[in-house]
A = this chain, B = another copy of it.
Amino acid sequence: MKIAIYGYGNLGKGVECAVNNAADTELFGVFTRRPPETVQTLSGAKVYHIDDILNYKNNIDVVIICGGSATDLPTMTPSLAKNFNVIDSFDTHAKIPEHFANVDAVAKENNHTALISGGWDPGMFSINRLYASAILPDGKDYTFWGKGVSQGHSDAIRRIDGVKDARQYTVPIDDALDAVRSGNNPELTTREKHLRECFVVVEDGADKEHIENEIKTMPNYFADYDTIVHFITEEELKRDHSSLPHGGFVIRTGKTGINHENNHVIEYSLKLDSNPEFTASVLVAYARAINKLYARGDYGCKTVFDIAPCDLSPLSNEELRKTML
């Protein structure tokens, strides 16, 4: 199976690693908006300009599109689905139905198979919410994120006057996790579920007190949370906060029994050293599935909900039943 990477940022690099990690996948190359000769890949993979991708239509099984959800993917994914099987990690939850419809129409018209919103949330977390709710209908589920770096919140801090750089960690609150696991179906406020910890580098002479206040009162991003602000040096930021860890928990508790007397806890958790590399690993597993669906003539747009687990594996169904069931 030959995979092409479309867009070569953190996620694209993660896909490059994941393709090298899987025994049955091969990297055709990387497509970039930049002049190809200026891009050096991690593994020495070939680099092409995105404008040339149609020349390789017959050499690529699946294109993994590593663009941003805000402006790239809404146009890139439908456009590429015309000529390729494609996967993206579109994560603007509210716009998923619209994006799905756009990609589905193009993929069906052109006999291609596409998957949108792969990764871990949306992605593996979504699957776990679905399984758990189907098994325990009389229950409630909770998703916690972190401890991990939120790029959006880090960017929001960087936009404040006097801030040179920043890194924001979303931290799930242990007491809230414990309350959920108890099965008491607590109603938790935003503030009770997560706290936000910020590491901020300021320009010389900046008013730290003012900046801290700006952060803590920022609507949507911080105002509803307990927020901790640490001012650190540029060197400290580089040394201690340059990786992109993340993770989280999906927990469903539910009751069974003729009098609803028995309680059950289903918990799925991720602890990731590298958010983009893990997301990329999920995408490569789904590329395998999309390639199988395409071979069976199952065209159109899919999500992780539509893919049977067996299609993610390089093993045959017989081997899976024998070794993993």
**Interface on A for B, CB 8 Å cutoff?**
14, 16-18, 20-23, 42-43, 93, 96-97, 100, 117, 122, 124, 126-131, 133-138, 181, 243, 256-258, 262-274, 277-278, 280-282, 285, 288, 303-310, 312-314, 317-318, 320-322, 324-325
Query: Once the chains bind, are B321 and A96 in contact (CB under 8 Å)?
Result: yes
Question: How far does the Cβ of A281 sit from chain B's closest Cβ, in whole Å?
Answer: 5
B321 touching A100, Cβ below 8 Å = yes
For A262, the chain B residues whose CB sits under 8 A away are: 243, 272-274, 277
In contact, A131 and B256 (Cβ under 8 angstroms): no
Partner of A322, one of B97, B128, B130, B131: B97
Q: With A278-B264, A303-B321 given, is the CB distance from A258 to B22 under 8 Å?
A: no
Q: Is the CB of A271 within 8 A of B264?
A: yes
A89–chain B nearest beta-carbon distance, Å: 12
Q: CB distance B325 to A96 under 8 Å? A: yes
B313 x A133 contact (CB < 8 A): yes
Residues of B within 8 A of A16 (CB): 258
Q: Are A269 and B267 in contact, CB atoms less than 8 angstroms apart? A: yes
Most chain B CB within a 10 A radius of its CB, from A43, A314, A321: A321
Min CB–CB distance A181 → chain B (angstroms) = 8
A257 near B285 with CB under 8 A, answer no
Q: Are B256 and A313 in contact (CB under 8 A)?
A: no
CB-defined contacts of A305 to chain B, threshold 8 Å: 308-310, 317, 320-321, 324-325
Tallying the copies of this chain within the complex gives 2
Q: B270, A266: Cβ atoms under 8 Å?
A: yes
**In the assembled complex, which residues on chain B have CB atoms less than 8 Å from the CB atom of A100?**
321
Q: How many angstroms from the CA of A93 to the CA of B320 in the assembled complex?
A: 12
A20 CB, nearest partner CB in chain B, Å: 7
- The answer to whether A312 touches B130, judged by C-beta atoms less than 8 angstroms apart, is yes
- CB contact between A256 and one of B21, B43, B321 (< 8 Å): that residue: B21
Please, how many angstroms separate the alpha-carbon atoms of A122 and B309 in the complex? 14
CB < 8 Å neighbour of A17 from B135, B257, B268, B306: B257
Q: Report yes or no: B306 in contact with A256, Cβ–Cβ below 8 A.
A: no
Chain B residues with Cβ below 8 Å from A282 are 135
C-alpha spacing A320/B126, complex, angstroms: 9
- Which residues does chain B contribute within 8 Å of A265, judged by CB atoms? 269-272
Tell me, rounded to whole Å, the shortest Cβ–Cβ distance linking A14 to chain B. 7
Q: Complex Cα distance A136/B271, Å?
A: 13
Kindly state the separation between the CA atoms of A320 and B282 in the bound complex, as whole angstroms: 20
Residues of chain B with a CB closer than 8 A to A306's CB: 308, 310, 317
A270 to chain B, nearest CB (A): 6
A130 near B313 (CB under 8 angstroms)?
yes
Q: Return 8 A-B CB contacts under 8 Å, by A number.
A: A22-B137, A126-B324, A127-B131, A181-B271, A256-B281, A267-B270, A305-B320, A305-B324
The answer on a CB contact under 8 Å between A324 and B273 is: no
Provide the bound-state CA to CA distance between A97 and B263, in Å.
Answer: 34
Residues of B contacting A23 in the complex (Cβ-Cβ under 8 angstroms): 137
Q: Are B268 and A267 in contact (CB under 8 A)?
A: yes
Closest 4 CB pairs of A and B: A262-B273, A134-B312, A256-B277, A305-B310
